[in-house]
Structure 1
């Protein structure tokens, strides 16, 4: 089944390009999707796959599991090299050519704007605050969601594709970044790369900033990429009509929290850290910034080449 993105025919009509009657789905070449029900969460997820059309490297395809797949899979699929000709062009521009890899987008099969409660439930750790977020009353399902990924989704991907079990990455932004760090702290052996982009570390009275650090598994160290936008916590605040947003930026302390988490992780045995504060990027812009760069690291032929 092809991954489908629907265009609003009305927008094309207003441009005078197409009549509304011929508007239809837009297909992403070489992408597919399937539904997978979880016994652990009780939720049925929409799983999106971006698979190369070239053979896997020795050991199998590296895999990037991307949260919020309903929103970001199209960009990941576009940026993911999949054809022999693409890899050949990349080789002409330098030696740092990524391996062919698989992107697994984890979504809910509905518009992203309708997924807030689902994301809040799945991506946040159990805490005692009530409510934890004014935008959603749901929270605390991260342990069940982690079991879905590790015990149900991963085996299904391995059944369908030749994947490398020791080249696995997890990507999350915002609430998803919070989940990526929670997974690192709870089950560091689950992935080899953790991409926590603009993580919502303010959640639950900053509970993850005081969570115990686990012993890392033996072997290659875990890469923890923690990237945040400088504009997510500006040094000064303009007087604007959007006072609520200004107050939220002050309260969430995104940069301070990211720095505090990185200070805890830096120098820990078995951890390689990649901490970036990106100038002139706000919370929403960090999402696209990261996708443009994450694949090069996750699918690098040399584990530490992307640092």
Structure 2
């Protein structure tokens, strides 16, 4: 398959393959390894080609009227703990795609299975067990140690030291126009932070949202300055690594970067992490839509984008970094 294949062609080939399987005894489902395709979509670079190809399969199954479970395989997209790094968090887009309930068959079967970078006979046997009986689960990380499933656990709320004072550094806000970014920035200003760097869209960006975002950033600057803070605005797209690096350099030596408040997508998050590896941060907060956790909106493709951000946040944690990374979930609707 190629990302530019016509939908009708993909459906025809998939239908022929399913017909051959039925002649030999039947088809219980579809197992896709298309996540292994590397690079961006040739016409839509923000979309990984593996996600685009998997979407073609989903569409083909719908055209054919096939009510079959689709299991997507990834390799190293998630981590099961500190001793299990995720070398390819970019494949996390597929985990978000599989959370959209509208893409599932009527019985809800199917999902995503992550495999380790190196396969052995034990891992293959564990994969076979998952495909034979998922037992109601839809997200697995198959490792030689066993089958791991996704669970949400309560995390303890961090309690600051009684006499701890905020570092006299700069707070970077990548989504100054976002509700969550504004609220967090004002809370930090009330807590004693005095220096803020707000990223705003570049003026030449062709988007109807640019004026509104810039106006929101100006309003936030006024609110922060009313609290006694020193605020600078920098025009940069955080998904542009070069532009982001220039923005980070704008913090200066006297007030180095100390806190990151990020409300953007996964690509910008990856750049932020890599460009601040040598900086001692006191906080790295990433805001995400609640759909990234649940995939609760059947029509929302935002789940794929947000889940990719989740995979990047896990990637930050398991690379041996001691920085305090926090994900804050919000509902945008």
TM range (shorter): 0.3 to 0.5
Work out which of the two has the higher radius of gyration on C-alpha atoms and give 1 or 2.
2
TM-score calculated relative to the size of structure 2: 0.33
TM-score calculated relative to the size of structure 1: 0.36
